[in-house]
Amino acid sequence: ATVSPPTPVATVSQYACQRRTTLENHNKIFTEAFEVLAESYEFNMNEGQCLAFRRAASVLKSLPWAVLSLGATQDLPCLGQHTKKVMEEVLYYGRSFEVDNILSDERFQTLKLFTSVFGVGPKTAEKWYCRGLRSFSDILADRSIHLNRMQQSGFLHYGDISRAVSKAEALSLRNIIDGAVHAITPAAAVALTGGFRRGKEFGHDVDFIVTTPELGKEDRLLLNIIDGLKRQGLLLYCDYQASTFDMAKLPNHRFKAMDNFSKCFLILRLESSQVEGGLHSVEGDSRGWRAVRVDLVSPPLDRYAFALMGWTGSRQFQRDLRRFARAERRMLLDNHALYDKNKKEFLAASTEKDIFAHLGLEYIEPWQRNA
């Protein structure tokens, strides 16, 4: 009789940067529940538990199979008692009662609504909630509340920018930015990054990296692009941040949302006639245009690979790249640079492949970084 060898089961790494995560999620019923819990912990400023649920969701997203029993999760990393209890509920009842309770909680619902406005973070939302405010009309009617410029634009364009941006709209915006850039200098280049580079069909915004071969001209380039968009009547909102990049500084392994490159957070006017197949939003199309959130970042050319890596995301993938670099390689990585603490030197990279190679990691394609 032939004895079949034991089926080799590939072990799943605790690091997202050692997993290939496509957009095909076989475990949505669990990951959607985990995302609600993570968000709830985020609102309660419990960073540890928030991250634990995001990590657990990320592990399940990477699996090419659906979890059908708790037993199947035995060898998976990052799944603690609490996550398994939630999975058990979902497996047996098709829902998690803990998640249902959160979803029907007034505080959660209100904070979720308020933070859906561009420029409103958890702290501001909490402050408004504590004042007894529960709806947008409550906020807009309260004379004692001062909205900053970003929040004013957030409310003004709420309908448009809370609606997803389609791939076709993103590509149309690339043409527009490309045109603005080449009117300034033919030597500059534009690259689509963020979720669309990872292959997503929809996003909450569109992210671009613009570069010029002349070192030190990054700020100027971005200001010129903004000026060009303004003259075309496309600029609805602009928050420009000049570069504070210091090339001598060591990378910050902490995953903060911000890097020090020259960048701007925009709301642009997108004409229906410029989008193949029209605008994604039905309502917007009857008006002939819609507002879209666009991010532009302009790193010095020698930092392009690090910026592209960081801005391609996903957040969880980038978080784990940094955690892996520090814990497993004694290296510090951020959107600007990679530093080897053993050799006490910066490691240069001109492509993302160089960065993976420095870290001793297999190359992971952008569409496999949907951790």
Residues that bind ligand CTP (CB under 6 A): 194-195, 200, 203-205, 207, 257-259, 310-311, 313-315, 318, 335
Residue 207 engages Mn ion in binding (rule: CB under 5 A)? yes
Count of residues that bind Mn ion according to CB under 5 A: 7
- Nearer to ligand CTP among residue 194 and residue 284 (C-beta): 194
Shortest gap between Cβ of 17 and ligand CTP (angstroms)?
13
- Nearer to ligand CTP among residue 66 and residue 258 (C-beta): 258
Query: Token pair for residue 64?
Result: 């090419």
Residue 259 engages Mn ion in binding (rule: CB under 5 A)? no
Shortest gap between Cβ of 137 and ligand CTP (angstroms)?
27
The one of Mn ion, ligand CTP, none whose footprint includes residue 257, by CB under 5 to 8 A per kind, is ligand CTP
Dihedral sign of CA atoms 359, 364, 369, 371 in order: negative
**β-pair partners for 345:** 340
Pairing of strands 338-340, 202-203: unpaired
Shortest gap between Cβ of 215 and Mn ion (angstroms)?
25
Establish whether 207 is a catalytic residue.
Answer: yes
Q: Which of residues 52-71 bind Mn ion (CB under 5 A)?
A: 64
Establish whether 138 is a catalytic residue.
Answer: no
The one of ligand CTP, Mn ion, none whose footprint includes residue 259, by CB under 5 to 8 A per kind, is ligand CTP
Give the separation between CA 303 and CA 159, rounded to whole angstroms. Answer: 36
Give the separation between CA 176 and CA 68, rounded to whole angstroms. Answer: 47
User: How far, CA to CA in Å, does 61 sit from each of 32, 87, 100, 295?
Assistant: 10, 14, 22, 27
- Nearer to ligand CTP among residue 73 and residue 211 (C-beta): 211
Shortest gap between Cβ of 268 and Mn ion (angstroms)?
13
Q: Which of residues 293-332 bind Mn ion (CB under 5 A)?
A: 295
Nearest alpha-carbon partner for 362 in 18, 52, 65: 18
Q: Which of residues 174-203 bind Mn ion (CB under 5 A)?
A: 194-195, 203
User: How far, CA to CA in Å, does 110 sit from each of 97, 103, 256, 359?
Assistant: 20, 10, 26, 43
Catalytic residue among 207, 259, 320, 334: 207
Q: How many CB atoms lie within 10 A of CB 269?
A: 17
- Nearer to ligand CTP among residue 248 and residue 257 (C-beta): 257
User: How far, CA to CA in Å, does 234 sit from each of 170, 173, 230, 231, 275?
Assistant: 15, 11, 6, 8, 15
The one of ligand CTP, Mn ion, none whose footprint includes residue 40, by CB under 5 to 8 A per kind, is none
Shortest gap between Cβ of 264 and Mn ion (angstroms)?
11
Give the separation between CA 29 and CA 49, rounded to whole angstroms. Answer: 19
Shortest gap between Cβ of 23 and ligand CTP (angstroms)?
11
H helix runs in the chain, sequence order: 28-43, 47-61, 81-93, 97-103, 106-115, 122-130, 136-141, 149-156, 158-161, 167-184, 194-197, 218-231, 282-287, 304-312, 315-329, 352-358
Catalytic residue among 138, 285, 295, 340: 295
- Nearer to ligand CTP among residue 195 and residue 284 (C-beta): 195
Q: List, in order, residues 6 or more apart from 24 with CB less than 8 Å away.
A: none
The one of ligand CTP, Mn ion, none whose footprint includes residue 334, by CB under 5 to 8 A per kind, is none
Catalytic residue among 205, 259, 320, 334: 205
Residue 205 engages Mn ion in binding (rule: CB under 5 A)? yes
Establish whether 142 is a catalytic residue.
Answer: no
Kindly list the residues in this chain that would bind Mn ion in the complex (CB under 5 A): 64, 194-195, 203, 205, 207, 295
Task: Indicate which residues carry an active-site annotation.
Answer: 205, 207, 295
